[in-house]
């Protein structure tokens, strides 16, 4: 369902029914938030791989405790896969031309290539690179003081 038709479609549904929406990555989270309880899928359109607004939107949606599927739709590249997953995306829908250039094995390899992030708050079990560096420096200072 396109973003522009969401309000009308939700009014026509029974209260317990849920639907999915395709929205531009330029939609502010505040505009989407009231609809989240009635959505089972949020597909965020990426007009280009270099337009990262969809990553921020996905992160805001997950932080609002949305448990449905979040899908990135557009010409992303495999190098963005690990970051997309850490932002809260469940699936990536690629145009045929993009999928032909980077087949599934390339995406799976890219997912495993990154073990840490630069941003805080994306991985629940791992510290980000900055925190790891700070901890290493502090441990080095502590070892030097004891020597």
Residue-number span of the structural domain to which 79 is assigned: 3-114
Q: Are residues 30 and 73 in the same domain?
A: yes
CB 90 within 8 A of CB 71: yes
Q: Read off the pLDDT of residues 70-127 as tens digits, 9 standing for 90 and up.
A: 999 999 999 898 889 888 999 999 999 888 898 888 888 887 876 666 666 655 555 6
CB 46 within 8 A of CB 57: no
Q: Are residues 84 and 14 in the same domain?
A: yes
* DSSP, residue by residue, 58-75: HHHHHHTT--SEEEEES-
Q: Are residues 35 and 73 in the same domain?
A: yes
What pTM was computed for the model? Answer: 0.73
Q: Are residues 103 and 47 in the same domain?
A: yes
pLDDT of residue 126: 57
Residues 24-45: what's their mean pLDDT? 93
Q: Considering only CA atoms, which of 11, 91, 24, 16 is closest in space to residue 51?
A: 24
pLDDT surpassing 90 at residue 28 = yes
pLDDT of residue 83: 86
49: domain CATH number? 3.20.20.70
């Amino acid at each position: 369902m396109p973003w522009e038709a969401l309000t009308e479609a939700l009014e026509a549904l029974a209260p317990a029914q849920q639907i999915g929406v395709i929205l531009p990555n330029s939609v502010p989270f505040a505009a989407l938030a009231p609809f989240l309880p009635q959505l089972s899928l949020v597909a965020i359109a990426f007009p280009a791989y270099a337009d990262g607004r969809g990553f921020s939107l996905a992160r805001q949606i997950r932080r609002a405790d949305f448990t449905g599927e979040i899908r990135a739709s557009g010409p992303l590249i495999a190098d963005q896969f690990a970051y997309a997953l850490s932002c809260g995306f469940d699936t990536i829908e690629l145009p045929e031309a993009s999928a032909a250039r980077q087949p599934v094995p390339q995406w799976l390899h890219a997912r495993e290539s990154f073990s840490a992030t630069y941003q805080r708050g994306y991985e629940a079990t791992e510290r980000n690179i900055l925190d790891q560096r700070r901890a290493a420096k502090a441990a080095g200072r502590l070892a030097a003081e004891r020597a």
